[in-house]
Amino acid sequence: MDRIMLAHGSGGRLSHELILNLFQKHLGNAYLNQMNDAVLLPGLEQIAVSTDSFVVSPLFFRGGNIGKLAVCGTVNDLAVSGAIPKFITLALILEEGLPIEELEQIIKSVSETAVEAGVLVVCGDTKVVERGSADRIFINTTGIGYVTDRLVEPKRIQPGDEIIITGTIGDHGIAILSEREGLEFQTPVLSDCAPLNKLIDTFYLPGVKCMRDPTRGGVATTLNELAQQAGVGMLLKEELLPLLPSVESACEMLGLDPLYLANEGKALVIVAPEVADEVLLKMQSHPLGQNATRIGIVQEGKSGLVLLETFLGGKRIVGMLEGEHLPRIC
C-alpha cells in the first residue's frame, strides 16, 4: 500500500498506522505522541489546544451543517480533555463557484454555535481554489481552552469503573448517510451535532476518570483506544446501548453496526462506580444528556480488548474500525 486510501481518514486502524509510521516518526515529541484529543502546552500548562479539519459531505444535513460541526468538533475535543474552551480560529478553503449564500448560512451557524458554546472566533483565513480542486468548502478550526484541575486521562481508568454515554448513538452517522443516499425514514434522524462543554460542566465530578467524544470510528473505536491506553478490558451490553428506533431500523436495513457510527454531540464518560448514579442524574438534568445511560463496565485482564455481550447472551469482540465505514462523516 503506497497511496492514501479513504480508510486512512476513517479514525480506525489505518489512521492509527499513518500516525505512528509517518507523523510520530518524523514529528514525534512527548506532546504529539500523547495522541489525545487536545494537548496541554509545555511551559503554558494553563492552555489546551486542539485542531480539526472538516470535510463533511453534504454540507447541510438534518440537525446541522459543516459550520456548526466545525465549532462543535473542536469545542468537544477540548471539553472532553477537561479544558474550558475559550477561543477558536477559523480557516476556510473554498471552491470557486460556491454560492455566497451558502457560505453565509455556514458562517451564521459558526456564529450561533460559537455563542452557544461560549467561545470567541479570534482569527481566520480564507483560501480559494479553482473549480474542481476542492468540494465546495473545507473548514479547519483550532481551539484554545483554559486547563482546569479536571483529571481526565486514560491511565486513571480502572477495573470496576462504569462506562456511560451521554445519549443515543449513531445519530450523526445515520443523518449524514440518509441525506447522502436520499433515504427517507418515517421519523427523520437528526444529527446530534452539539457543543458538549456546558453539559460536561453540569455533570463533572472528581470521580470522572476519562471522557472522549466518539466521532469518526464511533463508540467501538474510541473505547478500543481507551482500553489500549489504560491497559484494561471493557464489557459492553448490547441491551444497554441507547438507540433511536429510526437509527436502529436504518442500521438493520443497511447492515450497519451503530457502534461504528459517528456521533458529534455525545461523550463517553468513564466513572468510578460510587459516583455513577450522581453523574447520570446530573447528565439527565441537562437537555443534551437526557438519554444518558450506562452501557458497560471496565474489566480486569484482557488488556485492550472490548467485548460486547449480545442480546442472546454470547460475547463477541468489538474491534477498532477496519477500513472506511462512511467517508467524510465530519
Binding positions for its own copies, 195-224, rule CB under 8 A: none
Taking CB under 8 A as the criterion, which residues in 81-140 touch its own copies?
86-87, 89-101, 103-104, 107-108, 110-111, 114, 120-130, 132-135, 138, 140
Q: Quote the CA–CA distance of 268 and 232 in Å, as a whole number.
A: 16
User: What is the rounded CA–CA span in Å between residue 262 and residue 260?
Assistant: 7
How many residues in the shown chain lie near its own copies by CB under 8 A?
79
Q: Pick between residue 106 and residue 234 the one whose CB is nearest to its own copies.
A: 106
Dihedral pair phi/psi, residue 147, rounded to 5°: -80, 140
Output 87 or 203, the one with its CB closest to its own copies: 87
Rounded-to-integer distance, Cα 102 and Cα 135, Å? 13
Ramachandran angles phi, psi of 278, nearest 5°: -65, -45
Helices (H), 144-232: 171-181, 197-203, 218-230
| Chain CA centroid to CA 257, Å | 17
Residue 319 C-beta: closest distance to its own copies, Å = 20
Q: How far apart are CA 138 and CA 240, in angstroms?
A: 36
Q: Which is nearer to its own copies, 32 or 317 (CB)?
A: 32
- Under the binding rule (CB under 8 A), the answer on residue 181 touching its own copies is no
Query: Min. distance of Cβ 279 from its own copies in angstroms?
Result: 28
Q: Which is nearer to its own copies, 108 or 315 (CB)?
A: 108
Per-position x/- string for 20-39, each x denoting binding to its own copies as judged by CB under 8 A, each - no binding:
--xx--xx-x-xx-----xx
> CB of 217 within 8 A of CB of 319?
no
Find the part of the chain contacting its own copies (CB under 8 A) among 6-14, 189-197, 206-214, 278-286. Answer: 6-14
Within positions 143 to 172, which residues make up the interface with its own copies, using CB under 8 A? Answer: 144
**Can you read off the three cell numbers belonging to residue 4?**
492514501
